[in-house]
Amino acid sequence: MDPIDAYAQHLQRVERASPHTIRAYVSDLRQLAAYLSEAGKELDGADRNDLRAFLASRFAHDQPATLSRKQSSLRAYYEYRVRMVFLDDSPARALVSPRRRRSLPNVVAVDDVFAILEAPEKAAPGLRDRCAFELLYGAGLRVSELVGLDLQDFLDGGTAVRVRGKGGKERIVPLVAKAREATRSYLERRQELGPKSDALLLNRRGGRLTTRSVARFLGAYALACGTQRHVHPHALRHSFATHLLDMGADLRGIQELLGHASLSTTQRYTHVSSERLVQTYEDAHPRARRRK
């Protein structure tokens, strides 16, 4: 079997990686294989200089975040080959990761979020959309987690939901009253979409709704509501965390709700809240206004 195909199967069956991660890693490895073939080499014959030259060749084409991911995919692949005893050592182990500029999360204003949540109509598709948006914002779900929900994932009478996150990790997320209400209203009309599976969110043909469809619907509602910026599904997750932090929620609790493995990932939202605090001061404080 082709080593890249074998690695893709390993990611799916053993690592329980998401389809998005598998596609990205396989794409990176295919690019590396094509680069090495020009020099008459195969993946297992590459050394550190080959990998560094490959990454340098991608510098003009890829964003820093993409280059960082490529390094991660190369490291993971060669560590896998070492564990499978195809290689004695990993040529990617000594690669130095480039420093990434960490951008602050895109946060939607509370009033804009509320306008979007109230925008869908009362027909079955609209109730589905409102259910989706309430779960993104009210439970802080990733869009991939949202579309992966099945009916049996709702627990304790619909007061909590079982979420399968990155790496197949599961967590239980409580649902606020508005999310419970939106879910219950949608489930009462779900049959009108002709369900063909136990998926929670259905398209017009009764199949599972996709992440792209959720993003498209959300963007259309945001545009109709006149929001100042483009709103994507992950922005509602960012807004969930930032608004909780603004209201005094514990950072550790937010970490558990979001399913972050590291607290440092959640701490990004403290910087957002600090910036919002400074902006509030500049907009409202008499001394700030006087300087202007």
Q: Which residues are catalytic?
A: 142, 166, 234, 237, 260, 269
Rounded average pLDDT over 281-286: 54
pLDDT of residue 292: 44
All structural domains of the chain with their residue ranges:
3-83, 110-283
Rounded CA gap, 70 and 31, in Å? Answer: 10
pLDDT of residue 282: 56
Tens of pLDDT along 104-122?
A: 557 888 889 999 999 999 9
Please state which CATH number belongs to domain 3-83.
1.10.150
Q: Give the CATH number of domain 110-283; options: 3.20.190.10, 3.40.50.1580, 1.20.1530.20, 1.10.443.10.
A: 1.10.443.10
User: At residue 211, does pLDDT exceed 50?
Assistant: yes
- Residue 164 DSSP class: E
Contacts of 180 (CB under 8 A, 6+ apart): 158, 159
Rounded CA gap, 218 and 113, in Å? Answer: 11
Contacts of 80 (CB under 8 A, 6+ apart): 7, 10
Tens of pLDDT along 60-98?
A: 888 877 888 899 999 999 999 999 999 999 999 877 665
Q: Is the Cα dihedral 272, 278, 281, 283 positive or negative?
A: negative
Rounded average pLDDT over 195-210: 94
pLDDT of residue 213: 95
Residue at token pair 């390993």? 10
Helix spans in the chain (H)? 3-13, 19-37, 48-57, 64-83, 110-118, 124-138, 143-147, 177-189, 211-225, 233-246, 251-258, 263-266, 268-284, 286-291
